[in-house]
Structure 1
Amino acid sequence: MQKRGDTMTYGAIFRQIRINKGMKLKEAAGDTLSPSQLSRFENGLSMVTVETFYEALKNINATPQEFLFLVGDSQDNELNDAFKKIENLANTSDLINLKKLRDSWKKEVKTPYQWKHFLVLFIDNLLHVFETEQPLNQPEILDYLMQVEDWGEMELRIYTLFGFVFEVDTTYHLMKSAVKKSRKYMALPQDAKLLFTILSNNFSTFIFHKRFDYALETLKLYEEQLDKDVKLLDPHLDFLFNQGIMAFCQHDEEDGIALCEKVIELCQLFKQTENLERYEKRYQNWLHGHKDPGYKELTINIWTID
């Protein structure tokens, strides 16, 4: 058994299960290995064979399925925490600490496909947009996505984050495939908003590039999915607000104001404090900026598990 790259080790998760079951090292070791060997494994100081590991799981009355669930949960929690750090720093335009976070993660990256590597590239892009108002071209992201024949959850999340750095036509052509594949993950709590995050980020990207035809098509896909009895509040708010932005772009100020203010009223009604602050700021920017032909806004949502 080996350590997981930047999450809890298998040994640490084994220890978590053992302690939760109130078992001592000697009881968990049984006749499979010595308590000292098990202790070293739990603390990430030594390895055990796969056969020995499965025997040790039996000793603590744990199934491989239970263990793998906790492995995934550990990874998701760490990833969620990482995105919250990025989101908090980006929302406050704290570029100094955003750079420090990027540099610290860069030192931990061991492989080009490790999550932290993609997060480092994402921060690089955020910093570039802050400084130049233009995305940073990073062909390695697209190269990776194009070499994977059947996108899984990881590839969908990468596309969600990096769609704005590709050529706008590339983002558009990948969108329908990404939407179709992301639908099967909607039943998973951590991915319930993934489809809507993809659509919202793509909508913002198309508006940024003034591809209003692509933006309208994205709104249509968004509405089709919402019509399937989606009970999450955030996607409904986001859809209404994006409709307001679309109205501003089509020089329909009256509808733009009505839709954006409706979202703000709903945030107040449902006590959505963070959403209220974010939408009010964006509304004021669009209200005063939409008549300027040079006005641009690029909003990239980072999904986190509530």
Structure 2
Amino acid sequence: MSTIGTVFRHLRKSKGMTLKETADGLISSQFLSEFERGHSNISVLNFFSLLDKINVQITEFKIHSDELTEQTQQHFLSHYGKAYQSRNIVKFNELIDSQNKLYRNFKLPRFQHNVIILKQRLNQFSDFSFNQTDANSIYHYLINCEEWHYYEICLFGNSAFFMSLPQVEKLTRIASQKAHKYEDLLLNSSTFAIVMMNIVNYFLEADHLAPVSSLIKEVDRVLINQNYFYDKNRLIYLKGIYKIKMGMLEEGKEL
């Protein structure tokens, strides 16, 4: 059953518009009602026309969709982030159950990926070894993707902590190659910079310094024309740590 219609109905009612007013000139009121209840699919053209009727942009619809439906990845990441910050084991297990249920219902690989990330975090909290089979599962998924979009960048960023150094180093090169065409999109360029800085931090903590210089240059290039002041300051901090680890103490401390 589609959740798009449910979100649309919520927005239509919030605008005070009836089924008849919204459908008039586009589709029948009965068809719109069926769409809103998830009983009928709708063409892309009609969907965009309906959004225009209720004065909602597609980006706004996406935000509302993420807020109202538990199936979205943004919904998962929000709850995962809160559970991680508070080390809430109960919430982690609830998320594992919900993502397993979603996988049974929809068969989407990302629900499996989410379960792997959650279980690996629980292993980390308990000082248990990471499940290498699960790590390899996500690693091979990313390796085999012909193109990386927002999902793949985020998946890499959320999975690097349980992968081996050679795996992370290879995926870093792939991310730089495959994400370039999308870096002009504000969300993707910001996310790419954040993920790459997390990887820089990962390498610094492991004293694996060989790939750090080129990674820092890559993040510098992405951020140079952007106004992400927090990210730029964080990059300066990471540059300082790198300089210190390379023996350039005074220059590192100044940064």
Smaller-chain TM-score bracket: 0.7 to 0.9
What is residue 278 of structure 1 aligned with on the other side? none
Q: Which residue of the partner structure matches residue 121 of structure 1?
A: 116
Q: Does 1:245 align with 2:241?
A: yes
How far, CA to CA, are the matches of 2:65 and 2:177 in structure 1? 25
Deviation per residue, 1:215-250 (Å, 9 max, x gap) = 233223223434x23321121122122123324534
Of the structure 1 ranges 179-188 and 117-126, higher mean CA displacement relative to structure 2 is found in 179-188
Say whether residues 1:62 and 2:52 are aligned partners: yes
Q: Say whether the 8 Å CA contact 1:185–1:191 is kept in structure 2.
A: yes
Partners of 1:75 and 1:117 lie apart in 2 by: 21
Alignment of 1:12-51 (within 5 A): 12-19=6-13, 22-30=16-24, 32-35=27-30, 38-44=32-38, 46-48=39-41, 50=42
Deviation sequence 1:101-149 (CA, Å, 0-9, x none): 3333322223553544322222222222222276442221122222322
Kindly indicate whether the alpha-carbon contact (under 8 Å) linking 1:145 and 1:155 is maintained by their aligned counterparts in 2.
yes
Partners of 2:250 and 2:107 in 1: how far apart?
Answer: 49
SS of structure 2 residue aligned to 1:123: helix
If asked which structure has higher relative contact order (CA below 8 Å, sep 6+), I would say 1
Indicate if the aligned counterparts of 1:26 and 1:34 stay in contact, CA closer than 8 A.
yes
Unaligned runs of 5+ in 1: 4-8, 260-306
Relative to 1, partners in 2 of residues 1:21 and 1:104: Cα closer, same or farther, differing over 3 Å? closer
Q: In the alignment, is residue 165 of structure 1 matched against residue 175 of structure 2?
A: no
> Does the residue aligned with 1:132 lie in a helix, a strand or coil?
coil
Query: Contact 2:92/2:118 (CA < 8 Å) preserved in 1?
Result: yes
Q: Cα distance 1:243–1:181, how it changes in 2: closer, same or farther (>3 A)?
A: same
Letter of the structure 2 residue corresponding to residue 83 of structure 1: L
Q: How far, CA to CA, are the matches of 1:167 and 1:24 in structure 2? A: 56
Q: TM-score, normalised by structure 2?
A: 0.76
Q: How many residues align?
A: 245
Question: 2:85 corresponds to which residue?
Answer: 91
The unaligned stretches of length 5 or more in structure 2 are none
Structure 2 letter corresponding to 1:62: D
Q: Percent identity?
A: 20
What is the root-mean-square deviation in Å for CA atoms of aligned residues?
3.4
- Answer whether contact 2:51 2:58 (CA < 8 A) is retained: no
> CA separation in 1, counterparts of 2:241 and 2:144?
35
In 2, distance between residues paired with 1:229 and 1:206?
Answer: 26
Instruction: Flag the structure with higher helix content.
Output: 2
Taking structure 1 as the reference length, the TM-score comes to: 0.65
